[in-house]
Amino acid sequence: MQTLWLVRHAHRLDFIQPEWFDTAVYRYDPPVSDQGLDRSRSLATEFSQVRIDRIYTSPFLRTIQTVDPLARLLQLPIRLEWGLCEWLCQDWTSGFPETTPVEDLMRCYPNIDATYQSLVLPCYPETAEELDARIAIIAGKLVQGNGENILAIAHKGSVLGMVAALTGDDAWRNYDLACGGVIKLVCHDGLSFVVDG
């Protein structure tokens, strides 16, 4: 039995301080808020006794901060996967979003695997259809022929897109998943995933 845990990043700082965007160096890469840091610590506690073999995150700071306490606790590397990133929509960003450089991230988050190469690279700009296609591809690549239990931290659209792609139920794309929300998918037959819980 394979389990895929999908987590939306914890609460973002710019949700409560929108002015943060005006002076930020990486405007589309906000950190988590204090509430988000609390949630990242609680996720570490919740998952401390769960078998996790691999951790993947979107390369955005908020996803890394969400999983960092757990990665340290379990002593697992964090793989930065561009295939899990936010929807690269022209209405949201004025160009391909710059994120904090990996070298800078590793100073604070030493569990990042600097050798990992993304399985899927997105393009900018990206239509909703292109997002769905990208997410279906990365979902398949993460679980294909892989009996390992995986934890992936991403964004609302990418998490729900993966659930829809792996279960075949497009209704999941409209689910209201809160920041720090968790969805557990289980595959019993090596072919199809179902939501558990």
Q: Which residues pair with 56 in a beta bridge?
A: 79, 152
pLDDT of residue 191: 73
- pTM strictly above 0.85: yes
pLDDT digits (tens, 9 = 90+) for 141-196: 999 866 799 999 999 999 999 999 999 999 999 999 999 999 999 998 777 899 99
Q: What is the layout of strands, in order, in the sheet containing 182-187? A: 78-80, 54-57, 150-154, 2-8, 182-187, 193-195
pLDDT digits (tens, 9 = 90+) for 115-131: 999 999 999 999 999 99
**Comparing C-alpha atoms, which of 129, 137, 138 is closest to residue 173?**
129
Instruction: Return the CATH number of 2-195, one of 3.30.1330.10, 1.20.120.1200, 3.30.450.40, 3.40.50.1240.
Output: 3.40.50.1240
30 and 177 in contact (C-beta within 8 Å)? no
pLDDT of residue 142: 95
pLDDT digits (tens, 9 = 90+) for 52-99: 999 999 999 999 999 999 999 999 999 999 999 999 999 988 899 999
pLDDT of residue 105: 97
For residue 1, what pLDDT band results from cuts at 50, 70 and 90? confident
